[in-house]
Homo-oligomer: A and B are copies of this chain.
Amino acid sequence: MALIVQKFGGTSVANIERIRNVAIKVKKELDLGNKVAVVVSAMSGVTNQLVGYVNELSPLETSAAWAEYDQVVSSGEQVTSGLLALALQEMGIPARSFSGWQIPLETDSAYGKARIANIGPDDVHKTLNSGMVAVVAGFQGIHNGRVTTLGRGGSDTSAVALAAALKADRCDIYTDVDGVYTTDPRIVEGARKLEKITYEEMLELASLGAKVLQTRSVEMAMNHRVVVQVLTSFADIPGTLLVNEENIVEQKRITGIAYSRDEARITLTEIANIPGMSAALFGPLAEANINVDMIVQNVTEDGHATDITFTVPKSDLDRALAAVDKAGAKLKFKSIHADRNVAKVSIVGVGMRSHAGIALTMFRALADKNINILVISTSEIKTSVLIAEEYTELAVRALHAAFELEKA
């Protein structure tokens, strides 16, 4: 008998018929002799509506306001948990719902984007051991007697954390895609579903914009070695398994290609190349809570001045420019250029560690299509390039072909 945590996203519980369908998925797992805890998101559309109400009332500039945001927005998952428990009961399956505070799933005090501090697994274990299904409202926790939420997509993190706390044998994340693909199938017809992927690769893909799983849930799965499966609730087919690197027998050079259009580029020219310059530039950006991603710096020939290019999320560009402007007196740059029409394309794979010449293959494939590389950044298992946004699809297709990802 195994203990399985299943998580169903908003589209999987979008209406009563789909909630009944989810109950059938739960029953299948029970029929295999397993214990099942289920984590549910809000019915799709509900969270957006609730957030809309909140936004009409408040700019959410205080912790007290975010606490009320959580009070309001957490209600969506609460509703789904009760409805799924009812659907299971109607199929003759004993079930009960849990809100975050009832588990308890304890978090820190960062309302609206809280991090899980501790999960008390006793009551859920008791429920499972008594032959019942535990239906847990995702996305939410408790801090000091008040409701917190984990940030958008937080139900994935709830599920993985619960799986870790319960020492579950597997955590199945049901979503509206049927697994993790070599790249976005809407762009590349030959995109192939991966049977397995390492946590590290998934982490890079998740943070690069492949929106299958919340980044934090992958981190948590990696840290606690939770076996996670990503699969669809709309068909009865296997998904993609997140595993340790040693579980992947034959490594390809590259596992997947990700892209993100949420990039904007800022270039400052001829900054005086003196100590403390980087701090003077990036300090104010950090204070404004702006996430700077790629950074390149070129020193001019005489070594006295430098150009700096960096990227920020498109939605933060205006605030980033304002922060740079404020720091301008100290930086004494010659000019500032901003470009919203850029995108980031990345190749990801643990195979990069052992295979040489991978970046070269990437650059050649892009050059063959006359795609100009604006910025390059690399990590151990990832190489990213910034290009003009209009080339995004072309670049992804060219790289998918160059690394022969359509072949199993």
Contacts and interface: CB of A to CB of B under 8 A. Distances in A.
A97 interface: yes
A76 to B, nearest CB: 8
B83 A54 contact: yes
A3 to B, nearest CB: 22
Interface string A69-111: 1111011101101110111011000111101011000000000
A82 B97 contact: no
Nearest to A77: B75
Interface residues of A, number: 42
Given A62-B89, A96-B64, A102-B145, A71 B78 contact: yes
Nearest to A54: B86
A87 B56 CA distance: 9
Q: This chain: how many copies in the complex?
A: 2
A53 B71 contact: no
Interface of A is mostly: helix
A30 interface: no
A57 interface: yes
Contacts of A67: 96-97
Interface in A282-319: none
Contact of A83 (B53, B70, B76, B102): B53
Contacts of A19: 57
A86 B57 contact: yes
A68 interface: yes
Instruction: Tell me which of A16, A69, A85, A86 has the highest count of chain B C-beta atoms within 10 A of its own C-beta.
Output: A86
Nearest to A64: B89
A53 B65 contact: no
B64 A82 contact: no
A219 to B, nearest CB: 29
Contacts of A54: 82-83, 86
A394 to B, nearest CB: 45
A118 interface: no
A78 B81 CA distance: 15
Contact of A94 (B16, B20, B50, B64): B64
Contacts of A87: 57
A68 B90 CA distance: 12
Interface string A42-57: 0000000010011011
A72 B79 CA distance: 4
Contacts of A332: none
A69 to B, nearest CB: 7
6 contacts: A54-B83, A57-B87, A67-B96, A68-B82, A75-B79, A102-B146
